[in-house]
């Protein structure tokens, strides 16, 4: 069985050592303008390089939007 995690609902294959920082970088997203939550818990950007993402996790990358 292949282990996976999701990013904004899309399944991705999990690899040992997967970190929040790697996920944001692989997605080609400028990390200065997003927030990331793993299983509903927001991870401060200073901890992205050290925060491992376990298999089965739900990762949400949240981008700000304008509104009124």
Whether 15 shows a pLDDT value over 80: the answer reads: yes
Question: What pLDDT sits at residue 44?
Answer: 97
pLDDT band, very low/low/confident/very high, at 5 (cuts 50, 70, 90): very high
- For the chain, what percent of residues have pLDDT higher than 90? 78
pLDDT in tens, 20-66: 999 999 989 888 889 999 999 999 999 999 999 999 999 999 988 87
Question: What pLDDT sits at residue 55?
Answer: 96
3-state secondary structure 30-61: CHHHCEEEECCEEECHHHHHHCECCCCCEEEE
Number of neighbouring beta carbons within 10 Å of residue 25: 13
Domains of the chain, start order? 4-62 (3.10.20.30)
Provide the token pair at 28: 């080609």
């Amino acid at each position: 069985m292949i282990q996976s995690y999701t990013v904004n609902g899309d399944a991705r294959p999990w690899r040992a050592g997967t970190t929040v920082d790697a996920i944001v970088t692989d997605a080609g997203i400028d990390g200065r303008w997003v927030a990331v939550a793993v299983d509903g818990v927001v991870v401060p950007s200073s901890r992205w390089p050290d925060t491992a993402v376990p298999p089965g996790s739900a990762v949400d990358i949240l981008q700000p939007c304008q509104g009124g």
